[in-house]
Amino acid sequence: MKEFYHSKKKKIRGWKRHKRKIERWKQNVIDIDMNYIREHQRDYAKLWIHPFYSLVRRNPPNWYNRLLLNEMIDVYLNWYEKMTMEDENFYLKIWLYEPDFISSQIVVSYKDCINTYNDTFDKNLTAKKFPFHKYESLKDKLALFDWEAHIDTEMYWDEELKEDIVIEFRTKDEVNEIINKAYKTQKIKLSDGDDVLYKVNVGEVWLGTLKKGNLSQ
């Protein structure tokens, strides 16, 4: 289930302290645990930075996101070098969410798990341009990557929506609005009967992959 995301502007104090948290995050994740990778064949690094990444999420200001993305790229490049030493094909991507930036993460998998994330997101069939303008100071680093647009999807089950109406968690109008917004509707066979899944587009997920030749193999 997608965690709650909160975008209301609220005064956040202590920005010097919050900037230091970025460096601590980087130091915690930059040295990928290869013993863990060899055993589990996949890993990830989310942006676990309080108060932004919590049960109720807040999107940091764009200047802070730029600092985070800069460090994410450095972490990615370090992971890339470590993974190339395994002499195995691997999946390594930055998942960059827009506008839900704080959900962004770095994801790696290989061997039996190399295809685990292939169908995580639906491709965005509408032509999209990567938002380089938001990260102008990082344009050279971002140009090292191929960026492919996918859909940040919120999923709703028909039976759960009906139950929401019964328990007065949502109104009929709210449920109808969700259904009408869905870009895809799928009938799904489940072990306890059939249900309908509604997929609602709430943004983009840009999958970033290092272009071949940008680091020595």
Report which residue type is found at 112.
D
The answer to whether residue 56 scores a pLDDT higher than 80 is: no
My answer on whether 67 and 161 are in the same domain is no
Q: Is 60 inside any structural domain? A: yes
My answer on whether 66 and 161 are in the same domain is no
Q: Is 67 inside any structural domain? A: yes
pTM, whole model, 2 decimals? Answer: 0.88
Look at the chain and report how many structural domains it folds into: 2
pLDDT above 70 covers a percentage of the chain that reads 88
My answer on whether 91 and 187 are in the same domain is no
My answer on whether 192 and 144 are in the same domain is no
Name the residue range of residue 186's domain.
155-199
Number of H helices, E strands in the chain: 6, 8
My answer on whether 85 and 30 are in the same domain is yes
The answer to whether residue 87 scores a pLDDT higher than 80 is: yes
Report which residue type is found at 201.
N
Q: CA-CA distance, 108 to 116, in Å (whole number)? A: 10
The answer to whether residue 13 scores a pLDDT higher than 80 is: no
Q: Is 175 inside any structural domain? A: yes
Q: Is 25 helix (H, G, I), strand (E, B) or coil?
A: helix
Q: Is 216 inside any structural domain? A: no
My answer on whether 66 and 162 are in the same domain is no
Query: What does the CA dihedral 212, 213, 214, 217 come to, rounded to 10 degrees?
Result: 100
Contact 72/30 with Cβ under 8 angstroms? no
Inter-CA distances, 98 with 72, 81, 130, 140, 149, Å: 15, 27, 10, 20, 10
My answer on whether 149 and 176 are in the same domain is no
My answer on whether 42 and 99 are in the same domain is yes
My answer on whether 90 and 127 are in the same domain is yes
Query: b/e for 108-132, b at 16 or more Cβ within 10 A?
Result: bbbeebbeebeeebeebeeeeebee
Q: Is 25 inside any structural domain? A: yes
pLDDT digits (tens, 9 = 90+) for 190-208: 888 899 999 999 999 999 9
My answer on whether 172 and 74 are in the same domain is no
69's enclosing H/E stretch is helix 62-84
pLDDT digits (tens, 9 = 90+) for 112-132: 999 999 999 999 988 899 999
Contact 70/7 with Cβ under 8 angstroms? no
Out of 3-17, 105-119, 177-191, pick the least confident.
3-17
- Confidence (pLDDT) at 3: 45
CB atoms within 10 A of CB 96: 24
Q: Is 57 inside any structural domain? A: yes
My answer on whether 101 and 128 are in the same domain is yes
The answer to whether residue 84 scores a pLDDT higher than 70 is: yes
Average pLDDT of span 167-177: 97
